[in-house]
Amino acid sequence: MTAFSVRRLRALLRKEWLQVKRDPMTLRLIVALPVMQLLIFGYAINSNPHDLPTGVLMAQPSTYERTIVAALRNSGYYRIRLLSSEREAEEDIAQGNLLFVVNVPPGFDRSVDRGEAPAILIDTDGTDPTAIGYATAALGGLTGVLARDLPPVRRAAATAAPAGPPFRFVVHTRYNPEQLTVLNVVPGLICVVLMMSTLMLTTLAITRERERGTMENLLAMPVRPIEVMLAKIAPYVGIGYLQVLIILLVAVGLLHLPIHGSIVLLFAVLGLFIASNLALGITYSTLAANQMQAQQMAQFTMLPFMLLSGFAFPFQGMPRWARIVGEIMPTTHAMRIVRGLLLKGNGMADILPDLWPIALFTGCTVAIAVRFYRETLD
């Protein structure tokens, strides 16, 4: 063995640096990944969400009702929208468009003036207990907002003998009355597990063939790019379904996850979601020059897919720009569909608004993969 040489070490370092410089894609991803993490955790993540979509049903709008609506809006937790009917409220809360429905009963003003302390019913979407927790707790501080609007006689009586607030909120948590976190996490976990496993598996599909030298045989065959894509995707669809079956069996058997919707519809939707992730993985595989690049692309995607989809943090608590980015991701829509099917018993009409974005994403990624599929080794 020869003695240690600084000159040889310097030559080897120069060689390694030149090799790194020849892979600019890896350098970009290395820089972009921490920047993306800082932006997401610094600006998009919020465990105390505000401005939550809220519908209000008022039989007889009056001063008291307007005061209560203004108080809800001024609390910062509620983004108010007036509803025209009970049917509209049911559809919107089932589809996840509303997290709260405030129902002011008929004759509310008269009951307040008589000192009967009427109740305002608030239906909440309990499929994500974290999203509604702080907003529900804030209701207790709003029951005194009518003090200045009460008639002089009622105000004097309330001042002399304060028996209680002029009205009360009654919260009815739907779909998850006990607000169990497991009922929110497990349906989301189905989508996350499928996303991570199927994306990682197919991301290496074409780059592996290229690096092993078997791509030449594939290119010599009389096959079209779309045929190669479908052949690469098909085996992993079965693997994805096997994972879904295992998760559901464990969740139902051990965690007592309820299934209120159609299993057939659930598996059909998850099949489309699996296809969207496989198509994205194939797209990365066609764009990447080697397996390392493909893996980095997949990792760069999985983090925002998890954090901006509503799995780990409330979707409605994120700023508008983050929600727009989240709406592009198929994981966001798949989570809404799975939670709706399992916990709400939603049907095809309820899940359709979240179904077509997954189909559109799948079609676009397949088109990109076919467009950039190289039929030569150059």
pTM, to two decimals: 0.81
What is residue 178's DSSP assignment? T
Q: For residue 179, which amino acid is it? A: Q
C-alpha 365/C-alpha 47 separation (Å) is: 32
CA angle 274, 36, 190 (to 5 degrees): 25
Question: Between these two residues, 229 and 344, which has the higher pLDDT value?
Answer: 344
- pLDDT tens for 113-151 read 888 888 899 999 988 888 888 899 888 888 777 766 666
Q: For the chain, what are the domain ranges?
A: 52-174, 182-372
**Beta bridge partner(s), residue 170:** 121
Within 10 angstroms of residue 246's Cβ, the number of other Cβ atoms is 11
Q: How confident is the model at residue 374 (pLDDT cuts 50, 70, 90)?
A: low
Is the pLDDT confidence value at 204 over 60? yes
Across 22-31, 35-44, 108-117, 122-131, the highest mean pLDDT is recorded for 122-131
Question: Between these two residues, 245 and 113, which has the higher pLDDT value?
Answer: 245
C-alpha 81/C-alpha 75 separation (Å) is: 15
C-alpha 15/C-alpha 354 separation (Å) is: 51
Q: Which of 364, 203, 374 is nearest to 296 (CA)?
A: 203
Q: How confident is the model at residue 306 (pLDDT cuts 50, 70, 90)?
A: confident
Q: Which of 86, 54, 90 is nearest to 169 (CA)?
A: 54
- pLDDT tens for 249-281 read 888 888 788 888 899 999 999 989 998 988 888
| pLDDT in the model for residue 163 | 57
Question: Between these two residues, 206 and 213, which has the higher pLDDT value?
Answer: 206
Kindly provide the residue ranges of all beta strands, DSSP E only, lying in 95-225, ordered along the sequence: 100-104, 119-125, 168-174
- pLDDT tens for 172-193 read 999 988 888 888 888 888 898 8
Is the pLDDT confidence value at 196 over 50? yes
What share of residues in the chain are helix, strand, coil (percent, to 5)?
A: 65, 10, 25
C-alpha 194/C-alpha 273 separation (Å) is: 8
- pLDDT tens for 50-99 read 889 999 998 777 788 888 888 899 999 999 999 988 999 999 998 888 99
Name the percent of the chain lying above pLDDT 70: 85
C-alpha 132/C-alpha 310 separation (Å) is: 13
Is the pLDDT confidence value at 161 over 50? no
Q: How confident is the model at residue 160 (pLDDT cuts 50, 70, 90)?
A: very low
Under DSSP, is residue 274 helix (H, G, I), strand (E, B) or coil? helix
Across 302-339, b (16+ Cβ under 10 Å) vs e yields: bebbbbbbbbebbbbbbeeebbeebeebbbbbbbbbbb
CATH architecture of 52-174: 3-Layer(aba) Sandwich (3.40)
| pLDDT in the model for residue 153 | 47
C-alpha 216/C-alpha 377 separation (Å) is: 7
Size (the chain), residues: 378
| pLDDT in the model for residue 225 | 67
Is the pLDDT confidence value at 285 over 60? yes
When the pLDDT of each residue in the chain is averaged and rounded to a whole number, the result is 82
The three-state (H, E, C) secondary structure of 118-131, written as one string: CEEEEEEECCCHHH
C-alpha 198/C-alpha 203 separation (Å) is: 8
* Mean pLDDT value across residues 224-250: 79
| pLDDT in the model for residue 377 | 46
Joined together, the tokens standing for residue 371 give 């467009």
Under DSSP, is residue 226 helix (H, G, I), strand (E, B) or coil? helix
